[in-house]
Amino acid sequence: MSVHKKAKRVTTQVLLDMKSRGEKISMLTSYDYSMAKIVDQAGIDIILVGDSASNVMAGHETTLPITLDQMIYHAASVIRAAERSLVVVDLPFGSYQGNSRQALDSAIRIMKESGGHAVKMEGGEEISESITRVLSAGIPVMGHLGLTPQSIYKFGTYVVRAKEGEEAEQLKKDAILLEKLGCFSIVLEKIPAHLAEEVAKSVSIPIIGIGAGGNVDGQVLVAHDMFGITQEFSPRFLRRYADVSTIMNDAVKGYITDVKSGDFPNEEESY
C-alpha cells in the first residue's frame, strides 16, 4: 500500500518517506473551515494556510498586508477541519524578517494559538538564523525559494525567477542550506523546470513546485484558482479543475429570480 494511503495523519516523516519511495505529494491552500473540510476529506497530503489569503480572502494586490493575527485566525479555522492533512502556516511578511527572536515568537504564536503543524518561511541564506531558531524550538519549517511574493517590490514583477546563472546558482545553494539547517521540505515557485528538477535531485527533502515543472516531488496550487473561483488570475502553470465561479453565479441568479418572483420560499420551505 502507498505511504499516502497508509498514513492516518500526514507528518513530516510521511512526506520524507513519500519522496524516498517516489510517491508524489499533493498540496493545496485553504483559509477557512468549510474549504479545508472538502480538501482534507478528498485526501490532500498538505494544506497550506498561505499568506495568499491576503489576495484571495481580503482582495489585496499583494501578500504584504496580512497580519500575524489574521493568519492565526485563518489557520485555527483550517485546523478545526483537518483530520488527516499536515497543516502548514505561512509566517506573514514582517513577522520574521526583523531578527531570529521575532521569528521564534511569531512561529510560537502560530503553533500555540492556531494548532498548526508547521510554518513556512520565504527566503534562503538571508534568513538562516531565523530558520535555525524556529527549528530549535521543535517547530517544523518548510522553506520557500524562487518567486517569493513577500519580496515582490524587490523583484518588481511576477515573472519567472532564477533564469540567469547567478540567481540559479544562489537558489541551488539556498536549497542545500535549507536542507542542512533542518527544513522538512521546500516550495519552489515559478522557476525553470530543469532547475527545479536539479534541485529536487540534489536534496533528500521533498521539493514542492508551483510553476516549477513536473519533475519535482509534489505540487501546490491555490485552491481558489484551481476550483475556478478566482477568475482574474491565469498564469501558465495553473490548471483549472472546475468552474465554480460560473456554478455559483448561476445559483445566485436562480435565487434572485425565485425571490423576486415569490417562488422562494414555498410552503414546504416555510414553518
Distances from the Cα of 97 to the Cα of 21, 33, 37, 151, 259, angstroms: 35, 29, 32, 11, 51
What is the footprint of ligand KIV within residues 110-169 (CB under 6 A)? none
What is the footprint of ligand KIV within residues 196-215 (CB under 6 A)? 210
| Smallest gap from residue 148 Cβ to ligand KIV (A) | 9
| Smallest gap from residue 4 Cβ to ligand KIV (A) | 20
With CB atoms as reference, the residue minimizing the distance to ligand KIV is: 50
Using the minimum distance from each CB to ligand KIV, give the nearer residue, 4 or 144. Answer: 144
What is the footprint of ligand KIV within residues 48-107 (CB under 6 A)? 48, 50-52, 90
| Smallest gap from residue 90 Cβ to ligand KIV (A) | 5
Interface with ligand KIV, residue 23, by CB under 6 A: no
- Is 189 part of the annotated catalytic residue set? yes
In 167-194, which positions are buried (b, 16+ CB within 10 angstroms) versus exposed (e)?
ebeebbebbeebbebebbbbbbbbbbee
The rounded distance, in Å, linking the Cα atoms of 205 and 142 is 10
SS3 5: helix
Interface with ligand KIV, residue 220, by CB under 6 A: yes
Burial (CB count <10 Å: 0-12, 13-18, 19+), residue 31? buried
Catalytic residue chosen out of the listed positions 189, 232, 267, 269 = 189
Active centre residues (catalytic):
189
